[in-house]
């Protein structure tokens, strides 16, 4: 019924070529396709999406002369995004021109671009197309970027270096402290703030879509609705509303068999997302703490996540012994199935926004070890706003690790966190059902086109 109501028009999606951004963009594509739209995905030469059978209804285009995987390795993620925005403006215009005139018979209803693909401004202006900013991070991270893009970089830099100030709440962003601000993702503070002012710039956009739900972030969403000059549509969590596989690595499903052999709620699942790097020393401390906690653990060690090592060959023999005692290691896990597994009692996470939504979506409490950017914001919310996790701050030490794992999986405190996580899971599920806030918000967005 819904499909016939909407005139079939085309939506162009522009994802950032990174797992944590591609995944929600492709989920959004699925959600919009189910509403009757044709979908064109514009990729950079460094492609993180497989145009596999899962997306056989989608049309894919590549921006000519954009960056490759070698560029990503040479530049690092921050400079990669900056350079991409510098060089893609003209070639993206060509792509949009191609979609308009050659490839497709239908009109472009709008261009939806990831907040970090702000080179898209120029093309939408030139062709006078409606455009929509898609925020793949939380609404609160968007608020932070908006606030930070207006502050003086020099004085913020001094405040953030001062150990006393680091623990203070940042004015207007309660409960976030200076040290929780998403400042380290783009290298030096000045260039970070410059990128932020681009990501929150809605000057040519007609709307902002956020992969979040009002039951999670009502005050941040209200702030954005009031401050931005355009409608804000919280339509998440998209992984519940419209799942769409887009994994960059092959999933090792043997871990599900291993989980089948573990006791109910006994396993700690460890994954630090698709970008974070980890020092050998910290991994050893983690292995000691996990082993001493006496709880079984499933650990994702992503190839390339240990500097100077292809996978885990540089780790000392001691590490393998500790892990063998009660752990299981994979290169990449089917994360959503793992989190849904009854044996999993907790998720040790870097707190990327997708992992956070996926964990809450399965009612799994979290041990938070954020690395950079919005992960610190998410960790603070997990611990103090939703109260479904514990953050490990400062230097890692095996004693604290052991206690934290026990607090989560054995103590009454962990059971309370689990109850709150399950309560939030139910609220999230309700929000994407017909009549729920995210479901209605998606309909409002579609009707606005």
Least CB distance to ligand UDX at residue 333 (A): 4
The secondary element (H helix, E strand) that includes residue 325 is: helix 317-326
Least CB distance to ligand UDX at residue 352 (A): 2
Nearer to ligand UDX, 38 or 78 (CB): 78
Nearer to ligand UDX, 32 or 300 (CB): 300
Take residue 150 and report the two structure tokens written for it: 């207006």
Least CB distance to ligand UDX at residue 300 (A): 4
Nearer to ligand UDX, 72 or 333 (CB): 333
Nearer to ligand UDX, 23 or 202 (CB): 23
Cβ–Cβ under 8 Å, residues 178 and 168: yes
What is each CA distance from 323 to 257, 316, 361, in whole angstroms?
A: 17, 11, 28
| Site residues (vs ligand UDX, CB under 6 A) | 18-21, 23, 136-137, 247, 271, 273-275, 300, 332-333, 335-336, 352-355, 358, 373-375
- Bridge partners of 210, per DSSP, are 135, 234
Least CB distance to ligand UDX at residue 302 (A): 7
Least CB distance to ligand UDX at residue 441 (A): 20
**DSSP code at position 100:** I
CA 284 to CA 280: how far, in whole Å? 6
Nearer to ligand UDX, 164 or 257 (CB): 257
Among 79, 226, 211, 203, CA closest to 141: 211
Q: Residue 120, SS3?
A: helix
Nearer to ligand UDX, 99 or 234 (CB): 234
Least CB distance to ligand UDX at residue 331 (A): 8
Q: Is 181 exposed, middle or buried (0-12, 13-18, 19+ CB in 10 A)?
A: buried
CA 10 to CA 104: how far, in whole Å? 8
Least CB distance to ligand UDX at residue 410 (A): 25
CA 128 to CA 145: how far, in whole Å? 27
Nearer to ligand UDX, 52 or 226 (CB): 52
In sign, the C-alpha dihedral spanning 111, 358, 326, 289 is: positive
Nearer to ligand UDX, 127 or 311 (CB): 311
In sign, the C-alpha dihedral spanning 350, 134, 421, 339 is: negative
The phi, psi pair for 344, rounded to 5°, reads -80, 125
CA 135 to CA 234: how far, in whole Å? 10
Least CB distance to ligand UDX at residue 412 (A): 29
């Amino acid at each position: 019924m819904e499909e016939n109501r909407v005139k079939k028009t085309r939506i162009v999606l522009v994802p950032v070529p990174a797992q944590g951004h591609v995944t929600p963009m492709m989920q959004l594509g699925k959600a919009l396709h189910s509403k009757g739209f044709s979908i064109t995905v514009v990729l950079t030469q460094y492609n993180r999406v497989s145009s596999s059978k899962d997306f056989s209804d989608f049309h894919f285009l590549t921006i000519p002369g954009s960056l490759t995987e070698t560029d990503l390795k040479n530049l690092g993620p921050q400079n990669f995004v900056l350079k991409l925005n510098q060089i893609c403006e003209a070639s993206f215009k060509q792509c949009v021109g191609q979609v308009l005139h050659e490839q497709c018979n239908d009109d472009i209803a709008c261009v939806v671009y990831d907040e970090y693909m702000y080179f898209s401004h120029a093309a939408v202006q030139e062709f006078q197309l409606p455009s929509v900013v898609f925020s793949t991070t939380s609404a609160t991270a968007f608020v932070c970027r908006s606030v930070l893009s207006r502050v003086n970089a020099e004085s913020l830099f001094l405040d953030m270096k001062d150990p006393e100030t680091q623990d203070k709440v940042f004015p207007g962003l309660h409960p976030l402290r200076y040290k929780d601000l998403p400042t380290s993702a783009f290298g030096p503070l000045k260039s970070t703030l410059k990128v932020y002012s681009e990501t929150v710039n809605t000057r040519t956009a007609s709307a902002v879509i956020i992969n979040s739900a009002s039951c999670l972030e009502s005050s941040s969403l209200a702030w954005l609705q009031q401050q931005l000059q355009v409608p804000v549509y919280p339509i998440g969590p998209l992984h519940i509303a419209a799942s769409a596989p887009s994994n960059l690595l092959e999933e090792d499903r043997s871990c599900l068999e291993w989980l089948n052999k573990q006791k109910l709620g006994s396993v700690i699942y460890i994954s630090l997302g698709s970008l974070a790097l980890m020092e050998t020393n910290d991994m050893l401390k983690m292995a000691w703490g996990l082993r001493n906690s006496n709880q079984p653990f499933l650990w994702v060690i992503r190839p390339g996540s240990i500097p100077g090592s292809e996978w885990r060959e540089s780790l000392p023999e001691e590490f393998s012994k500790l892990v063998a005692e009660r752990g299981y290691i994979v290169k990449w896990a089917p994360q959503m199935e793992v989190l849904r597994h009854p044996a999993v009692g907790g998720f040790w996470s870097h707190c990327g926004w997708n992992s956070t939504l996926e964990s809450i979506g399965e009612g799994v409490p979290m041990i938070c070890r954020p690395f950079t950017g919005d992960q610190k914001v998410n960790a603070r919310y997990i611990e103090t706003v939703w109260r479904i996790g514990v953050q490990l701050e400062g230097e890692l030490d095996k004693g604290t690790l052991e206690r934290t794992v026990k607090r989560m999986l054995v103590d009454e405190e962990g059971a309370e966190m689990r109850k709150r996580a399950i309560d939030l899971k139910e609220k999230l599920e309700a929000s994407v059902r017909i009549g729920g806030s995210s479901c209605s918000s998606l309909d409002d967005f579609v009707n606005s086109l």
